[in-house]
C-alpha cells in the first residue's frame, strides 16, 4: 500500500507559502507523500520546499490585475486549471487536500470540493482571504492562525497558530530582559509596504523622549532603500545609535534581544512576537485588504501584549507617549512580554499536521 497523499494548494505570496512549506516538511517526516499544487507565480516561492515534494503547476488567474480582457479570461483559466487538478486527482487520489489561500489554490480546491475529497484550509490572517472565504463553508475544517478570526457562521474552525521558521522556534520563550538603566534595544520592522511612515515618524517620536532615555537606546530599523539616508541622518542628528538596513537576516535574534518592537501587524510578525514573547507597538497597514492587519493585532491588544495605533492616528506625540510609557516601566513591559508569550503557538505545525491526520482517519472510517 502506498503512503497517504497530501495535496497542498497554495500560492501568491510567501505569506501563503511559508506555512505551507512547514506543513509539507512535517507530513513528509510522518511518512506521507506531499504534492504542491500552484501556478507559475506560486512556483517561484516554492524553492524552500523539500525535493521530495512533487510540484504540479496548474493554470489560475485573479481579477485583481489587468484590464477588461484579462479579467474576462480569469474564469476560463481557473476552470482549465480545475480540470487539470481533477485529472491529476483521478490518477493519484489525495488522502487530504489543504488550501493555504491565494488564487493559485483555486483549481485544486475546486477539484477537491467537486470530488468530495477530505479538505481543509489554513488562514494566516485574522480575516479570511478571498479564496479561503469562498471555501470556508465548503471544507471539513478551517485552521486559524489568529484567534479570534472573522468567520462565516457555521464554520468548523480550530485555532492552530501560524507555522514559523526554525530560527523563530529556536528563540521561543527566550528570557525577556525588562527595560532598565542600561542600553536598550528598540527594533523597528516596517515591512515592504508603507514603511516610509516609520522612517519619518519614529525618529521624530524618539526626539520627544527624555534625553536620558534617548541616550540608552540602540535602534535596529528596517527601512526602504529610498528612506535609508533620511532615517540614518535623523538618528545621527539625535545622537541615537542606529543600525538602519533594508533587510535584516536575523530578525528572530533581534526580536529576542529587544526591549520593545515597533512593527506592522502582518501574520508572520504577530506570530513571531507571540512565540518569542516581546512587548510591541503595532501599526496595522491601512491599505491591507479588509483591514486584516487590524484583525491580526486584535488578540495581542486584548491580551495587553501590544499597543495598537491605527495608521491615521500615528503621530510623533502619540508614539512617543507609548514608547516612553513602556521603556520607563519595567513591570509593565514585563507583563506585556508575558501576555504576548501566552498567545504563542510554537506547536502550530504539529497542530496542523494533527488536523490533517485526524481528517484522514475521520473520512476513512465513514
Dump pLDDT digits (tens) for 224-273. 999 999 999 999 999 999 999 998 989 999 999 999 999 999 999 999 99
Do 91 and 199 fall within a single domain?
A: no
Nearest CA-CA partner of 164 in 23, 323, 4: 23
| 183 and 324, same domain (yes or no) | yes
Query: Can you give the residue range of the structural domain that contains 212?
Result: 169-342
Provide the CATH number for the domain around residue 256: 3.40.50.2000
Calpha distance 242→322 (Å, rounded)? 20
In terms of domains, do 194 and 126 share one? Answer: no
pLDDT at 289 over 90: no
Claim to verify: residue 185 and residue 299 sit in the same structural domain: yes
- pLDDT greater than 90 at residue 7: yes
User: Does the pLDDT value for residue 142 go beyond 80?
Assistant: yes
Whether residue 184 is found in the same domain as residue 327: yes
Q: What is the mean pLDDT of residues 104-133?
A: 95
Are residues 330 and 206 both part of a single domain?
yes
The verdict on 116 and 181 lying in the same domain is no
Residues 96-115: what's their mean pLDDT?
A: 94
Q: Where are the beta strands (DSSP E) in 72-206?
A: 96-99, 119-123, 141-144, 157-159, 184-189
Co-location of 136 and 182 in the same domain: no
In this structure, the dihedral spanned by the alpha carbons of residues 211, 217, 222 and 224, taken in order and rounded to 10 degrees, is: 20
Specify the 3-state DSSP secondary structure of 152: coil
Instruction: Name the phi and psi angles at 179, rounded to 5.
Output: -55, 150
Distance between CA 219 and CA 316 in Å, rounded? 16
Average pLDDT over residues 59-75: 57
Whether residue 278 sits in one domain with residue 220? yes
Which three cell numbers mark 146?
Answer: 489568529
The band of 11, judged by pLDDT with boundaries at 50, 70 and 90, is confident
Q: What is the structure's pLDDT at 336?
A: 98
pLDDT band with cut points at 50, 70 and 90 for residue 89: very high
Q: Which of 103, 107, 104, 105 is nearest to 85 (CA)?
A: 107
**Residue 159 reports pLDDT greater than 50:** yes
Do 328 and 246 share a domain, yes or no? yes
Q: Are residues 10 and 147 in the same domain?
A: yes
Largest CA distance in the chain: 70
Number of domains in the chain: 2
Percentage above 70 pLDDT, the chain:
93
Whether 14 and 150 map to the same domain: the answer is: yes
The pTM of this model reads: 0.87
Confidence of residue 48 (pLDDT cuts 50, 70, 90): confident
At residue 158, the pLDDT reads 96
- Going by pLDDT thresholds of 50, 70 and 90, the confidence category of residue 365 is low
Amino acid at each position: 500500500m502506498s503512503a497517504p497523499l497530501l495535496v497542498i494548494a497554495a500560492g501568491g505570496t510567501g505569506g501563503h507559502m511559508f506555512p505551507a512549506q512547514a506543513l509539507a516538511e512535517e507530513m513528509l517526516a510522518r511518512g506521507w507523500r506531499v504534492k504542491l499544487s500552484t501556478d507559475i507565480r506560486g512556483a517561484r516561492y516554492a524553492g524552500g520546499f523539500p525535493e521530495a515534494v512533487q510540484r504540479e503547476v496548474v493554470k489560475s488567474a485573479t481579477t485583481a490585475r489587468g484590464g477588461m480582457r484579462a479579467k474576462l479570461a480569469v474564469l476560463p483559466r481557473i476552470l482549465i486549471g480545475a480540470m487539470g487538478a481533477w485529472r491529476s486527482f483521478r490518477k493519484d487520489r489525495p488522502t487530504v487536500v489543504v488550501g493555504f489561500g491565494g488564487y493559485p489554490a483555486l483549481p485544486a480546491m475546486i477539484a477537491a470540493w467537486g470530488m468530495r475529497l477530505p479538505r481543509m484550509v489554513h488562514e494566516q490572517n485574522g480575516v479570511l482571504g478571498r479564496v479561503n472565504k469562498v471555501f470556508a463553508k465548503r471544507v471539513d475544517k478551517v485552521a486559524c492562525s489568529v484567534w479570534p478570526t472573522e468567520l462565516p457562521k457555521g464554520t468548523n474552525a480550530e485555532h492552530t497558530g501560524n507555522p514559523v521558521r526554525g530560527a523563530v522556534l529556536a528563540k521561543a520563550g527566550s528570557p525577556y530582559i525588562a527595560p532598565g538603566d542600561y542600553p536598550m534595544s528598540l527594533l523597528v520592522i516596517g515591512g515592504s509596504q508603507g514603511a516610509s511612515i516609520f522612517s519619518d515618524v519614529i525618529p521624530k517620536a524618539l526626539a520627544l523622549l527624555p534625553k536620558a532615555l534617548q541616550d540608552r537606546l540602540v535602534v535596529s530599523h528596517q527601512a526602504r532603500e529610498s528612506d535609508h539616508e533620511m532615517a540614518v541622518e535623523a538618528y545621527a542628528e539625535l545622537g541615537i545609535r542606529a543600525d538602519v538596513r533594508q533587510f535584516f537576516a536575523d530578525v528572530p535574534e533581534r526580536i529576542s534581544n529587544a526591549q520593545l518592537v515597533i512593527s506592522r501587524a502582518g501574520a508572520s510578525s504577530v506570530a513571531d512576537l507571540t512565540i518569542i514573547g516581546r512587548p510591541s507597538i503595532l501599526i496595522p497597514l491601512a491599505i491591507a485588504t479588509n483591514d486584516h492587519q487590524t484583525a491580526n493585532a486584535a488578540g495581542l491588544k486584548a491580551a495587553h501584549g501590544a499597543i495598537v495605533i491605527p495608521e491615521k492616528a500615528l503621530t510623533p506625540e502619540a508614539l512617543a507617549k507609548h514608547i516612553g510609557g513602556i521603556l520607563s516601566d519595567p513591570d509593565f513591559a514585563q507583563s506585556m512580554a508575558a501576555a504576548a508569550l501566552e498567545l504563542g503557538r510554537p506547536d502550530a505545525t504539529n497542530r496542523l499536521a494533527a488536523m490533517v491526520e485526524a481528517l484522514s482517519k475521520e473520512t476513512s472510517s465513514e
